[in-house]
Amino acid sequence: MKIEKVNQSRCDKDNWRDTEFGSVFSDHMFIVNYKNGQWQEGQIKPYGAINILPSLHSLHYGQAIFEGMKAYKGPKDETFLFRPDQNAKRFNKSAVRMCMPEIPEDLFLEGLFELLKLDEKWIPHGESSALYIRPFMFASSNFIKANPSDEYTFIIITCPVQAYYKGEVHVKVELDYTRASSGGTGAAKAAGNYGASFFPAKKAQEEGFQQLIWTDGNNHQFIEESGTMNIFFRRNDELITPPLSDSILPGITRDSLIKLADHIGIPCKEEKIGLEKIALGHRLGNITEAFGAGTAATVASINSITYKDQKLSFEDKSDSFARKLKTELQNLQYGRSEDPFGWRVTV
Ligand SMILES: Cc1ncc(COP(=O)(O)O)c(C=O)c1O
């Protein structure tokens, strides 16, 4: 792998803690091109502009996918990744769905490890701080015919981040727009899924909500996800979460929480979650917690869900399942507890 280093790091100059999530980027990026049916030699170079032409295929047809992961600093200044193989695998599933070439897992991980070693000083210490990692791939041929591209570019960029949500989280159930439909691309991390979600999400924000709860594309009767997170509810002394389908992104945090919950003795069932049942359960006092789960926000307790004209409020209790699971998960990610699952990877 070719490595071209920056002459001078920007690390000390950037006061990134006062900036928006994901707006300050570390010194280097990893880049590798796919052409003539094969992946070329990868290289690390200074973060910077990439040369593109107006005929760039992905700008027209949207063959573009990405991943979201984090590197964490441990108590002895170690650098940890959390289940990075799962991100590489999901990336390739997204690639297949979007008719793009899979990237060898070794190439993905080797590029990532080298990049992290080089930009290690960008990984912030501190509770809920981490280096957010954004691997992505886009169609990089230059033609405008609605056929799959021949050439692709894979890049990894990283940015230091703090907690995603800093205040309360109030969400609205979306009953008109759909994030993903059956047979669509919802289970892939395809860029277009996010582009299509911005308009309804913006409308919800204008109404004072932080996020939306996405419902099924057929009848809007079942809960699917919350914004860019998977969703869990506490029903009495158990957790429930919607089962995976082709319209739900298979979150790595979701999978980890299901396994962690089981490990600490909280039963968790994967079942279809009807909106009316949640509203009734909330009225009866059986549904007492709701939270989102994802890499960016880890575990985010939901303070209220507005469904039609009902506002279901949730008390943020100190012994909530959400807090318990968040602590367990972060202890694993930041290297503060034993890892019986083998999920933590030292860089
Ligand atoms: C739509 C959607 N659902 C769920 C998730 C959570 O996935 P993960 O836990 O792997 O970050 C994400 C974030 O990647 C997402 O974009």
**Which residue among 67, 295, 330 has the greatest number of ligand 1 atoms within 8 angstroms of its CB, and so is best to mutate?**
295
User: How many whole angstroms separate alpha carbon 281 and alpha carbon 71?
Assistant: 38
Q: How many angstroms is it from 69 CA to the middle of ligand 1?
A: 10
Q: Are 187 and 245 in contact (CB under 8 A)?
A: yes
The binding-site residues of ligand 1, defined as CB within 6 angstroms of any ligand atom, are: 68, 225, 228-230, 249, 251-254, 294-295
> For all residues of the chain together, what is the average pLDDT?
96
Sign of CA dihedral 257, 259, 264, 268: positive
Atom of ligand 1 nearest to the CA of 253: 9
Checking if the pLDDT of 15 tops 90, the result is: no
3-state DSSP call for residue 90?
Answer: helix
CB neighbours of residue 339 within 10 Å: 14
Q: How many angstroms is it from 53 CA to the middle of ligand 1?
A: 31
Checking if the pLDDT of 13 tops 70, the result is: no
Atom of ligand 1 nearest to the CA of 67: 14
Tell me the residue length of the chain.
347
Q: Which of 11-25, 32-46, 84-98, 191-205 has the lowest mean pLDDT?
A: 11-25
User: How many whole angstroms separate alpha carbon 198 and alpha carbon 314?
Assistant: 26
The backbone torsions φ and ψ at residue 100, rounded to the nearest 5 degrees and listed phi first, read -115, 160
pLDDT grade for 199, boundaries at 50, 70 and 90: very high
**Which residue among 228, 260, 326, 332 has the greatest number of ligand 1 atoms within 8 angstroms of its CB, and so is best to mutate?**
228
Nearest to 296 by CA among 230, 209, 246: 230
pLDDT grade for 238, boundaries at 50, 70 and 90: very high
Quick one: what percent of the chain has pLDDT higher than 90? Answer: 93
What the chain holds in terms of domains, given with CATH numbers, is 2-161 (3.30.470.10), 170-330 (3.20.10.10)
Q: Which residues pair with 172 in a beta bridge?
A: 212, 306
For ligand 1, atom 15, which residue shows the shortest CA distance?
228
pLDDT at 21: 85
**Which residue among 85, 90, 171, 229 has the greatest number of ligand 1 atoms within 8 angstroms of its CB, and so is best to mutate?**
229
Q: pLDDT tens-digit profile of 276-333?
A: 999 999 999 999 999 999 999 899 999 999 999 999 999 999 999 999 999 999 999 9
pLDDT at 87: 98
Mean pLDDT of 2-23: 86
In a 13 Å sphere around the CA of 123, the CA atoms on its Cβ side amount to 22
| pTM for the structure as a whole | 0.96
Q: How many angstroms is it from 79 CA to the middle of ligand 1?
A: 22
Checking if the pLDDT of 14 tops 80, the result is: no
For ligand 1, atom 2, which residue shows the shortest CA distance?
228
Mean pLDDT of 177-198: 97
Q: pLDDT tens-digit profile of 149-179?
A: 999 999 999 999 987 777 899 999 999 999 9
Q: Are 203 and 289 in contact (CB under 8 A)?
A: no
Q: How many angstroms is it from 143 CA to the middle of ligand 1?
A: 32
Amino acid at residue number 23: S
